[in-house]
Structure 1
Amino acid sequence: MSLVELADVSYTYPGGVLAVDGVSLRVDAGESLAIIGQNGAGKTTTVKLMNGLLKPSSGRVLIGGEDTARRTAAQVARRVGYVFQNPDDQIFNTTVAKEISYGLKRLRLDAGESERRLDEAAALTGLGDRLEENPHDLPLSVRKFVTIAAVLAVDCEVLVLDEPTAGQDQAGLDRIAEIVEVMTGRGRAVVTITHDMEFVARHFARVVVMAERRVVTQGRAEEIFTDSAAMATARLARPAIVELADRLGLADVGLSLDALADAWRSRG
């Protein structure tokens, strides 16, 4: 059973703006899934439907086989955690520790388990020495990790990251990649919506391409990024490694730089 399934889902905002039109996709346990497309393609609406912030105008959204129509937004968010693109839309506490702990209080865990989760989330996001700082005083790149830590602590089955790499340096990118690896290794799923094709190519196994409020195609990352027609339809640039492989006549080596280098050397 998929953790999340969207079955022919459409959503129209108040005022009549159609944002998602007949979208079907699934999210499985232990997988990393990227949803890519231009602004206005329907990506953000799609993930908000996943975590209950929005309810479909038609079609069904299933979380662990249960229809979200029968659940409150809070109940769905307990299973599908959403990290907003702008951390200032989520942060409201006066210390990093309080921000991370806020969701834990609603779970009514014992003190020892709450402290363990706080410490683990802080360690994974690099915030262990900043717990008593005011998150509003931190740089934007660090504030993003505060909101990620707050969702990690709740231990949702699905972690949704909205443009997580924006504004990050290489150390931040490496940390996000580690979070994806750790969470999928635990059997959780990680979903991202992003314009960062290079990051997706390196760290996400499956890709959904959206354009004009619909899914254009979906499949393994190496299949999608070498599908010139699908990328052109969505008006997306292919990752640099795919362009390089094409120029070298090695388009079938996948998305690994090491594999590309080995294939080039084997040519003699």
Structure 2
Amino acid sequence: MSERHDLTVQISGLRHTYESGVEAVAGVDLTIAPAERLAIVGQNGAGKTTLVRHLNGMVRPTEGTVQIGDWNTADKSIAELSHRVGYVFQNPDEQIFARTVSADVAFGPKNLGVDDDEVTARVADALDAVGLAHEADAHPHHLSLSERKRVAIAAVLAMQAPIVVLDEPTTGQDEAGVHLISRIIDDLAARGRTVVAITHDMDFCVENFDRVVVMARGTVRADGRAAEVFAGREALEAAAVEPPQLARLARALGWREAPVDPVQFVDALERRRRA
């Protein structure tokens, strides 16, 4: 089953209240364009994970709608939505279950009805992408947390969904692992896929995502390009989010600007020198 890569995500008036009575998402309107890189940030309990779990049907709206292209998620099963949305859990042990790494990665495409030769090719490509080709026959739970996280990512890559959701992708990763995940995000974007990530790592956020959404108490407090979002103190304070390192340095220097990467910082410094 081939899937289009021009799927817009449209979230309208979304609310979700758990059986405990906790309202985790309290009225969110959000549009995510095809091939967009979007990071969602905010403190624990802000509603980030509940929000993105609506995309693949793990959580259903209490009110409002979630559209994936021409599909209303309320009308589709999780199995159907997996054709369009791949989801990498924050805790890989919630996702890994097979006796070998290769079997775990093969499970998704097999369930999508992909033929055996294509499954084999997808598994090889996905394990190569996450640097675990040499662990194909290993038991996943004999691997480190960092490696298990990358097995979970490989499993989603092998499904080749047009939309990929990454919940805290850098958890447990060393510097090399973080760079590898950045390359995966670059590759997904180059292939026209949409990438949505939840992250507490603001430097990783600004290095890899064009658009940032700030959430607090189940609502969107800011939404825009990284430099614009991290220049706004009110939304960040409401969400208990610290800006990236360079933005914090600029603030400490008394700048009104909030450069979020080295190029922006140097440009801002040059403008101040010329002023």
Q: Could you state the TM-score of these two structures normalised by the residue count of structure 1?
A: 0.95
Native 8 Å contact 2:105 2:151 kept in 1: yes
In structure 2, distance between residues paired with 1:227 and 1:51: 31
Aligned counterpart, 2:211: 206
Match of 2:41 in 1: 36
* Greater CA drift, 233-242 or 136-145: 233-242
Aligned with 1:50: secondary structure?
Answer: coil
Q: 1:137 aligns with which of 134, 142, 164?
A: 142
**C-alpha deviations, 1:92-121, integer Å up to 9, x for none?**
101110000001111222222212211111
Q: Equivalent residue for 2:125?
A: 120
SS of 1:30's equivalent in the other structure is: coil
Where 1:129 maps in the other structure, the secondary structure is helix
From 184, 187, 196, the equivalent of 1:191 is: 196
Mapped contact 1:250–1:260 kept (Cα < 8 A):
no
Partner of 1:182: 187
Distance 1:173 1:150, change over 3 A: same
Which of the numbers 36, 39, 64 marks the counterpart of 2:69?
A: 64
Inter-partner Cα distance in structure 2 for 1:107 and 1:234 = 38
- C-alpha contact 1:242 1:251 (8 A) present in aligned 2: no
CA contact (8 A) 1:83 1:160 kept: yes
Look up the SS of the partner of 2:67 in the other structure. Answer: strand
Match of 2:92 in 1: 87
CA distance in structure 2 between the partners assigned to 1:144 and 1:198 by the alignment: 20
Cα shift at 1:251: 4.8
- What is the one-letter code of the residue matched to 1:70? D
Contact 1:3 1:157 in 2 (8 A): no
Query: Percent of pairs identical after alignment?
Result: 44
More off after superposition, 135-144 vs 20-29: 20-29
Aligned to 2:99, the other structure's residue is in SS state: coil
TM-score normalised by length of structure 2: 0.92
Asked whether 1:149 is paired with 2:154, we answer yes
The one-letter code matched in structure 1 to 2:71 is E
Unaligned ranges ≥5, structure 2: 1-5
**1:173 counterpart residue number:** 178
Q: What amino acid is aligned across from residue 92 of structure 1 in structure 2?
A: F
Post-superposition offset of 1:2: 5.0
Instruction: Indicate whether 1:52 and 2:68 are aligned.
Output: no
Q: Is the 8 A contact 1:164 1:194 kept in 2?
A: yes
**Take 1:119 and 1:129, find their aligned partners in 2: how far apart are those partners?**
10
5+ residue gaps, structure 1, are: none
Match of 1:237 in 2: 242
Q: State the distance in 1 between where 2:28 and 2:16 align.
A: 9
Q: What is the Cα deviation at residue 262 of structure 1?
A: 5.0
Report the residue type matching 2:208 in the other structure.
H
